[in-house]
A and B are shown apart, each in its own frame.
Chain A
């Protein structure tokens, strides 16, 4: 399996090398995107000094964490719904190793962006002079990694629905729109009832984005963070079971043609 992954990675590298201008374009797009986010933050904080205890520096850290989470998803996210609808999934099903290996996106550009984002995040964090201990930084990183599947799993479950409904683009779009409404503002701006509804629909907004930033910036106690981490892991296990069950059921229903 590792060998297959290596070959896929090498092929992607070769493909990207062929289209070097794509890489330059992607960098430009990323820079403009960051400028757009900065404009958003600057406008907000030109009106008020802080939002529910979050100042401009906190929000920059938050936005960078969210961006890293998204990028990591683009870099590695599984894409299989198109193969289901196009009837080409069986190309992978007949291979001797698990088909999930072939669904991995492996976008070199996005992997590079994740690394760039992490560098910017570290630079911002240290230049903003936060008095965090090494322990809280490591804890925040582990927290981020452990809760990140909360972004992947709901999207995988939605993609599995392609076995029954064909094109599920609109449903995925609606889910992405729901979570992206908190990519610039922490979910805590919501009032209680909306807060609960949104946490149920999109746990990523609170348990990964908000909590990772809050742990890094010492805005929550370790006890509370551990409680939330436990909830996140339980949610992930439940979502994983749903995903696997749906995927297996869907495979039984799937009909495609040979390649």
Chain B
């Protein structure tokens, strides 16, 4: 367990070092969040001037969107590992004393941390200013959501054992997840027929639920934690099964 944590910490350190090598990326990310929020601010002002029954105000909607744009960073996180399966480099991991699920988890999660390292402190400060201490609940739930994202992406990676270079599937899934997780807009603003679909899927736990907690509209309850635990466990079992069958049929030369 301790050695796993040490390896995990090393992965995080490597990713963070990578982000320090490209400091302009920090500005690009922050710039993107700010520049996207400007038209959103004016758009929502127009909407609120015509309809004040949305359940949001200009502050809460902007905080929600800042949370979603700043922390929804799963875009290209799994591309490296997917490439390792296609090129055969994954063989190096298979012969080492580390299971594939742990390897996937460490690599993806450390990439996610690298992706949010600059926006997270800003969002925590904004949360404190506009919502108060309870906004931290959103950050806690976000990390639970990221565990879920990591496992879901690990499952997607294992599909490369069967389908090879399935980049289209990855991109499509990433975009679909943006729709289904509430990364574009809060899910409770979706029309009724769309809400019916997203309500029963686990993706709302990734952005919508944490963001609602962040703006002070949800609280962490035992039932919510059980829901997270249920989906994490379910996807983890699926991942284990896929890794077992995937590695059995995988053929490559040693590195």
Show the binding face of A for B, using Cβ within 8 Å: 21-22, 24-29, 31-33, 35-36, 39-40, 42-44, 46-49, 51-52, 170, 173-174, 177-178, 181-182, 185, 187, 189-191, 194
Complex interface: stretch among B29-37, B91-99, B154-162, B244-252: B29-37
Contact A48 to B51, CB < 8 A, known contacts A43-B184, A189-B43: yes
21 cross-chain CB contacts under 8 A: A26-B168, A28-B172, A29-B175, A33-B175, A36-B184, A39-B185, A39-B190, A40-B184, A40-B185, A43-B184, A46-B190, A47-B54, A52-B46, A170-B24, A173-B32, A181-B36, A181-B39, A182-B39, A189-B42, A189-B46, A190-B39
CA distance A44 to B184 in the complex (A): 11
| Contact call A43/B191, Cβ cutoff below 8 A | yes
Taking the closest CB of chain A, its distance from the CB of B181, in whole angstroms, is: 12
Chain B residues closer than 8 Å to A32, beta-carbon distance: 171-172, 175-176
Show the binding face of B for A, using Cβ within 8 Å: 24-25, 27-28, 31-32, 35-36, 38-39, 42-43, 46-47, 50-51, 54, 165-169, 171-172, 175-176, 178-179, 184-185, 189-191, 194
Taking the closest CB of chain B, its distance from the CB of A248, in whole angstroms, is: 27
List 18 additional contacts besides A42-B190, A47-B189, A52-B46; criterion CB under 8 Å.
A21-B168, A25-B167, A27-B168, A28-B168, A29-B168, A31-B172, A32-B172, A40-B184, A44-B47, A46-B189, A47-B54, A48-B47, A51-B47, A170-B27, A170-B28, A173-B28, A174-B32, A189-B43
CA distance A199 to B125 in the complex (A): 32
Which residue from chain A places its CB closest to the CB of B166 in the assembled complex? A25
Which residue from chain B places its CB closest to the CB of A43 in the assembled complex? B185
| Contact call A29/B172, Cβ cutoff below 8 A | yes
| Contact call B43/A174, Cβ cutoff below 8 A | no
| Contact call B175/A39, Cβ cutoff below 8 A | no
| Contact call A48/B50, Cβ cutoff below 8 A | yes
CA distance A51 to B45 in the complex (A): 11
Taking the closest CB of chain B, its distance from the CB of A219, in whole angstroms, is: 17
Which residue from chain A places its CB closest to the CB of B23 in the assembled complex? A170
| Contact call A39/B43, Cβ cutoff below 8 A | no
CA distance A177 to B42 in the complex (A): 17
Chain A residues closer than 8 Å to B54, beta-carbon distance: 47
Chain B residues closer than 8 Å to A40, beta-carbon distance: 184-185
| Contact call B190/A190, Cβ cutoff below 8 A | no
Which residue from chain B places its CB closest to the CB of A38 in the assembled complex? B179
Chain A residues closer than 8 Å to B51, beta-carbon distance: 47-48
Chain A residues closer than 8 Å to B27, beta-carbon distance: 170, 174
Chain A residues closer than 8 Å to B167, beta-carbon distance: 25
Taking the closest CB of chain A, its distance from the CB of B60, in whole angstroms, is: 15
| Contact call A36/B169, Cβ cutoff below 8 A | no
